[in-house]
Every structure is written in structure tokens, then in C-alpha cells.
A and B are shown apart, each in its own frame.
Chain A
Amino acid sequence: MGTHTAEQPAPVAAGTGTTAVPTRTGLLIIGASQSGVQLAVSLRALGFDEHITLLGDEDHRPYQRPALSKEFLQGTVESESLIFRSNEYWAEHNVDLVKGEYIVRIDRDADGSGVAHASSGRQFPFKRLALTVGARARKLEIDGGDLDGVLYLRNADDALALKARVGDAKDVVVIGGGFIGLEAASSLQKMGKNVTVLEFGPRLVGRAVGEETAEYFLQAHRARGLDIRLNTSAARFRAASAEGDKQTSVAGVELQDGTVLPAQIVLVGIGVIPNTQLAEQLELTVDNGIVVDRFALASDGTTVAIGDCANMPNPVPGSEPGERIRLESVNNAIEHAKVAAYSLTGRREEYAGIPWFWSNQADLKLQIAGLCNGYDRTVLRRDEERGKFSVLYYRQGQVIAADCVNAPLDFMAVKNALAKGRNIPADAAADPATLLKTITTDS
């Protein structure tokens, strides 16, 4: 980030005041995101030989987001390490990287080609279009929500804004006990801040994990000194009472019961909203994301939409026909991009692999394999001494998912079993001394 890439000539002639006939790109990828990058990379690997434009609205080269709440925030990795690919890579692969352009409107012709218009006035004509536009942070609309120091954590600029304030802050209130909130809270605690986490619901991490895992994290974080308050929401943010310009900065969070928690930083992590504005303008079907088929094609049959912004048929083997899902993960961004790359090169390949997720919070390394929706039984494996904890989820005797904390062997065993359509019998799995890999069966 921060270093400028060598861009190819702008598609619109500069300085003339008139719009020249712009060069048309073969594929315009809107969203220089994990999925956007992977799409370009996968297309080149498949021999797609048309010009690709990878366009993003941020002023940074495409970067990896997961570290923003962890290593980057704590200062243990350099921003340069987050960059996906070198400038040379993009140049050698005939991919034009465009930064800092926000697309506001797309004109479309009947054959699927069209022109994307940026807020700057630049135009980007394309033959084919991919939407990898991701999601944006859900805003907390309460009094004081616009005070300085009320922050979100979705992109690099958010992380930089947080880092810039963190030195002067003593107290931080994190709103939302999901992955982002807990990762950031753990990081900020490690950086010496007094951190309180407010969770609106009765347990942590919402639907992403089962009850046992949520409870494990609650106890583990509390044991590490994090103040976590469940069933608690903020009523308003209070400004500093001091005179002068300080009044625009947050100083505290008032809870529903009137309690006021001091806070020089409030970090809000209450989920994301898929970016569907362009899809709606294109009159694509939208329903909790851009609706796509198994081959990542939107309702017009030509635009591909992938990653966080896409609502797709549930790719997990054994899911109900017609069941749909929108996944927010690195793994999904990558696998969905591969499906789209096949589509764009005229092949039909379905989504491969088992969804998986990770979240690192303090010394707790959570790895999730599969999706636990619809489970009817869990098996707990706990090794207190070595700090390992796993929950395996079963549906009708078949393992469908696992949450594993500091237990990579369990995670790997379940992920591999799911990928190969195999099972890990529940009764045998209950003994934490048994290696899951050794009891995996052919269903």
C-alpha cells in the first residue's frame, strides 16, 4: 500500500477536455478485492488471453484484509507484506490495475458489453463484466455515531485510522462480539488498552459457530481479562465535555441502563451489507447479495459476481436443493473466483472444496471446517492441559463441520474427511486422545 503502481495509459485521453474513443478492455473486474485478484490470476492460469482491467475504489494496490484486525493493527507485519502481487506480475500478465476509481453507473449493450462510469468522469468500456464488489460495514445509527473516534474496520484506510488514534487512547469499547470485534479487541488488549466488548445478543460470534464454541470463547476471553458484556447495547455515544474542538471526539458510550463506559475509541463491528448498488442499477436479481447460479453467473447470464457480494447455491455436498448462501471468507473468495474463471473461459465447473474459515484471537487459533447449519448432534473434544478444544457437528450421523481451537490436527482431519465425502463416527471421536485421521471411514 502507498506505493503507486505503474499504470497503463488511461482509457480516456487526458487534457483535451473531450472524451476520446477509449480502449475497450476484455474483462472489467470491479473490485480489487481478494476475489477480484483471484479471478484475474485464475483466468491467466486458464489461458484467458484478453486484456483484463482490475479496478478498485481504494488508493492502495490490492491487499489482503484478514491481517488488518490482527498483525497489521499490532504492527507485527509491514503493509508491503499485505500486497497480493508485485507490479511486475500484473504487467507481465497484461492486467491493468486501476486504483481510486469509484464506479457509479454502468451502461450496457445487448451483447453484455458496456461502459462503466466512474465518479471522476473516467469511463471504462468493457466486453465483459465481473462484480467483485464485496460488502461494506453496517453502520450503527445511534446518537453520536458521527463523532470522531467512532470507527469501523473493513479496509486499509479504516485500519490506518484506527492505528493513528490508538496511541492516545486508554479505553476502547468494541461494539459487536463477532470475529472482527473479538480479533480487534484481542489485538487492542495486547497493545495495552482497556477494552470492553458489547454484544447485543445472548452469546458471542452469532450464527458462525455453535453454542459450545461461543461459550468456550466467552470463558477464554474473560479468563484473559477481556470485559465482555452480553445482551448489552449502546444507547448513545457521548462527546468529551471539554471546551473547544474536543467536543467532536467520542469520550464515552452510554448503555441502555444509563451506565457510561469511558472510550476514546469506539470500534463498531456489527456485520456487513453486500454491495449490490451496481447490480441493482443493472437490474440483476438481488436478494441478500447478487444472485448467481452454480457457475457464478448473475441473472443476465453474462455478468459474473463472486465473493462476499454474491448469493449462490449452497455448494456443500448434501445441502438441500435450492438452498442458497452468501459466504464472507477468504476461502470462498478464492474458490468462487475459480468457478467464475471457468465460466468466463467457456467451461462449466462447479464449486470445489469445503468452506473453511479462521479467526485468530489472542492465543486462540480458531479454524472452522464446513458449515454447521442443521446439525443434530455435537461431539466435544477437550484437552485442557494443551489448550485444545474442538466441536464436531453431525447431521444424521454424518460429520458436517468442526470448530477447532488450537487443534489443527482435528481441523485438518475433518476438512479432509468432508472433502473426500468420508465420515468420522461420533462415538469414536469423543475420545480426545484418538487421532481423528485414524478413525475416518468411507461413510
Chain B
Amino acid sequence: MPTVHFTDAEGEVRDVQGNPGDSVMETAVRNGVPGIVAECGGSLSCATCHVFVREDCLSKLPPMEDMEDEMLYGTAVDREDNSRLSCQLRLTDELDLFVTTPETQV
């Protein structure tokens, strides 16, 4: 099963198993991972599911579309080169993904 390792701003790590096809955001929210708010439920409207992706995992992910790119300019904690919105990241079969959640999403 795909696994996402969420590290929060304090360094605490939570490993969550998800289902292929689900988004990283859904996987986090359903399991109550703090640090992911996701007000809009994945419709790319709120930028409150911001994550920093560990550099070596970036290439496993689909490229960013314009809307996500623009939304990332409005995140509560400023974007970095490895920023993504986790609602746009789909889990695949053997994905092992490491992300860090920002200090705040709103």
C-alpha cells in the first residue's frame, strides 16, 4: 500500500497508509493528520493543504498545473521550490512519499 510520511513543523512524524488513487490531502484528512486543513475538499480553491515535498520524492509526482502554481502564491507559509498542494498529489501503488507540513495553513 502507498504510504505517506507526514512530518509536522515540530518534527513529529506520522506514517499514514492510503489507497491508490486517493490524494495525499484526502489521506491526511481522513486520518486526522494535523497540519492539513483542506477547506475546499480538493477543488483547488483554498491553498490550505500546502506541503513541502522531500527533494528526492519530487520526481515521483505529476507536474504542476497553472492553477496549482498560482494558488501556491497565496499559502499562509510562503512557498518554496518543493511546495505542492497535496490535493493534487495522487497516491500510486508503491508510492513512498515524504512531506513536511507548514507551521500553519490559514
Q: Which residues of A contact B (CB under 8 A)?
A: 41, 45, 64, 66-67, 70-71, 81-86, 88-89, 92-93, 330-331, 334, 352-353, 356, 358, 360, 365, 367, 408-409, 411-413, 415-416, 437
Contact = CB atoms under 8 A, between A and B. Distances in A.
A41 B40 contact: no
B interface: dominant SS:
loop
A64 B30 contact: no
B87 to A, nearest CB: 11
Contacts of A70: 43
Chain B interface residue count: which class?
20 to 34
A367 B32 contact: no
A416 B39 contact: no
Interface in B14-37: 22, 26, 29-32, 34, 37
B73 A67 contact: no
A85 B30 CA distance: 4
A360 B29 contact: no
Contacts of A93: 32
A41 B32 contact: yes
A67 B44 CA distance: 12
A373 to B, nearest CB: 22
Nearest to A419: B106
4 tightest A-B CB contacts, nearest first: A412-B74, A358-B45, A408-B70, A64-B41
B71 interface: yes
B53 to A, nearest CB: 20
A81 B42 CA distance: 10
6 contacts: A45-B34, A81-B26, A81-B42, A330-B39, A408-B71, A415-B74
Given A86-B31, A408-B73, 18 more contacts: A66-B43, A84-B29, A84-B30, A85-B31, A85-B32, A88-B31, A89-B31, A89-B32, A331-B39, A334-B39, A353-B106, A356-B46, A358-B43, A408-B47, A408-B67, A408-B70, A409-B73, A412-B74
B74 to A, nearest CB: 2
A416 B74 contact: yes
A266 to B, nearest CB: 27
A437 B79 CA distance: 14
Nearest to B47: A412
Contacts of A89: 30-32
Contact of A330 (B26, B41, B106): B41
B30 A412 contact: no
A389 B31 CA distance: 37
Nearest to B71: A408
A33 B39 CA distance: 14
B30 A408 contact: no
Contacts of A66: 40-41, 43
Nearest to B33: A89
Contact of B73 (A81, A367, A437): A437
Contacts of A71: 43
Contacts of B67: 365, 408
A334 B106 CA distance: 12
A71 B30 CA distance: 19
